[in-house]
Amino acid sequence: MQNLILGIESSCDDTSAAIIKDDVILSNVIAGQDVHRNFGGVVPELASRAHQQNIIPVIHAAIQKANIGKNQLSAVACTQGPGLLGSLLVGTSFAKAFSLGLNIPLIDVDHLQAHILSHFIRNADRTNPVPTFPFLCLTVSGGHTQFVLIRDYFDMEVIGQTIDDAAGEAFDKSAKIMGLPYPGGPVIDKLAKLGDPTRFTFSKPNIPGLDFSFSGLKTSILYFLRDELKANPDFIENNKNDLCASIQATIVDMLISKLAMALEVTKGLHPRGNLPDVAIAGGVSANSGLRKALEDARDNFGWNIFIPPIQYSTDNAAMIAIAGYFKFLKGDFGSQSATPYARAGNRST
Ligand code: KG4
Ligand code: ZN
């Protein structure tokens, strides 16, 4: 029998719904929220209000695009956390009501696990390769930067992470310093394509082991620009592309050099002593510089890499639907009394 699952994502500022048929996506609808643009960041109160406006049309569109009827659904899966509580409440409340109304199971999904499990979404012909357990994933988003060792779909261990800002924050805060619009990551990526990545150098912190620190980079950029602007008020405007290219190259270099270290550490865990498969996930995995650096590592060092399609890199409900599918197969269902959680590791059922 084929299972049809509705996935819902509302952890931050994207309202998204997807329909999955077993592990093949039939539809993935995403409504962004322009309302935050003028504030230079996500305003939680405005985000929950926009989710309330978007959720019904988005779910309706996902069901229509998938060309199914809601009565055919086997289950509804929804992000439980981590994320903004007000935003999460909109998705989880809808999912609870939907599961009650249709008398189908409710499935709680962890947003970070879902980013990783997006690698198991299959093409319509199911020919695309998926990672082999155990594999290593660098999860890089607006709120998290983690090395995760994945032994099985839901057996995941964080083996390194940022001690302050996330990689996405490093992009967004650097962009803000330069007066670029929010979210800064995609803007820096776009301008970086026109610039020279070797033009400026920014200091990189020396953090032991597999942990990261990105807050120093922001300070280094801030002081550098403050000094340059004293001499030339148009410094940013005149050097925007090179600044973006250099900032992106610095962040990517920090990520890739630690990734090489993480692969060496996890080599021993692989049954054949080989380097494990290596995946990237989360919004920053959409970055063209990071994707290219990973492709270079594949070509030069034989890394077996997994890069998610762009539509599954940034927040989306397809990843919630695939995580929901694997939980559905296990019979791992949520409860009507479960409450959303804001931070990773603070789950309640
Ligand atoms: O996973 P995500 O969509 O939301 C969270 O779970 O946080 O990640 C959002 C982050 C933001 O910081 C955004 O600037 C960054 O991902 N991002 C990018 C790119 N696209 C999104 N950063 C660099 N380059 C991109 N192309
Ligand atoms: Zn995310």
Share of the chain above pLDDT 90, in %: 92
Residue of the CA atom closest to atom 1 of ligand 1:
283
Res 272: pLDDT = 78
| Alpha carbon 116 to chain centroid, angstroms | 8
List, in sequence order, every residue forming a beta bridge with 135; answer none if it has no partner. Answer: 150
Please write the tens of the pLDDT for every residue from 326-341: 999 999 999 999 999 9
The pTM score is 0.96
The CA 102 to ligand 1 mean position distance, Å, reads 34
Pair 13, 87: CB distance under 8 Å: yes
Share of the chain above pLDDT 70, in %: 98
Please state whether beta strands 135-140 and 278-281 pair in parallel, antiparallel, or not at all (unpaired): parallel
Please state whether beta strands 4-9 and 75-81 pair in parallel, antiparallel, or not at all (unpaired): parallel
Q: What angle do CA 55, 58, 63 make, to 5 degrees?
A: 120
Instruction: Give the closest residue to 293 by CA, choosing from 138, 174, 118.
Output: 138
Res 349: pLDDT = 39
pLDDT exceeds 70 at position 13: yes
Q: Helix, strand, coil proportions of the chain in percent (round to 5)? A: 45, 20, 35
CA terminus-to-terminus distance, the chain: 29
Instruction: Give the closest residue to 306 by CA, choosing from 120, 28, 162, 110.
Output: 120
For ligand 2, an ion, list residues with CB under 5 A. Answer: 141, 315
Res 348: pLDDT = 46
Among 117-121, 205-209, 341-345, name the one with the lowest average pLDDT. Answer: 341-345
Model confidence at 74, in pLDDT bands (50, 70, 90)?
Answer: very high
Contacts by 35-44, CB closer than 8 A, 24 or more apart: 36/182, 37/181, 37/182, 39/182, 40/176, 40/181, 40/182, 41/172, 41/182, 42/12, 42/13, 42/84, 44/84, 44/85, 44/86, 44/87
Instruction: Give the closest residue to 21 by CA, choosing from 318, 345, 342, 349.
Output: 318
Res 40: pLDDT = 84
User: What CATH class is the domain 135-310?
Assistant: alpha beta
Please write the tens of the pLDDT for every residue from 209-250: 999 999 999 999 999 999 999 999 999 999 999 999 999 999
Residue spans per domain, the chain: 4-127+312-330, 135-310
pLDDT exceeds 80 at position 347: no
The CA 19 to ligand 2 mean position distance, Å, reads 18
CATH of 4-127+312-330, one of 3.30.420.40, 3.40.630.30, 3.40.50.2300, 3.30.450.20: 3.30.420.40
Please write the tens of the pLDDT for every residue from 143-183: 999 999 999 999 999 999 999 999 999 999 999 999 999 99
Q: Is 287 in the pocket of ligand 1 (CB under 6 A)?
A: yes
Q: Is 82 in the pocket of ligand 1 (CB under 6 A)?
A: no
Residue of the CA atom closest to atom 24 of ligand 1:
287
Model confidence at 85, in pLDDT bands (50, 70, 90)?
Answer: very high
Q: What is the mean pLDDT of residues 125-154?
A: 96
Same fold, 4-127+312-330 and 135-310: yes
d(CA 280, CA 147): 9
Please write the tens of the pLDDT for every residue from 253-293: 999 999 999 999 998 887 777 899 999 999 999 999 999 99
Q: What is the mean pLDDT of residues 51-61?
A: 98
Q: Is 276 in the pocket of ligand 1 (CB under 6 A)?
A: no
Model confidence at 344, in pLDDT bands (50, 70, 90)?
Answer: confident
Q: What angle do CA 308, 42, 45 make, to 5 degrees?
A: 125
Q: Distances from the Cα of 174 to the Cαs of 158, 311, 327, in angstroms?
A: 26, 24, 38
Instruction: Give the closest residue to 267 by CA, choosing from 303, 220, 298.
Output: 303
Res 346: pLDDT = 55
pLDDT exceeds 60 at position 117: yes
Q: Distances from the Cα of 110 to the Cαs of 42, 88, 236, 237, in angstroms?
A: 21, 11, 40, 41
* pLDDT, the chain, mean: 95
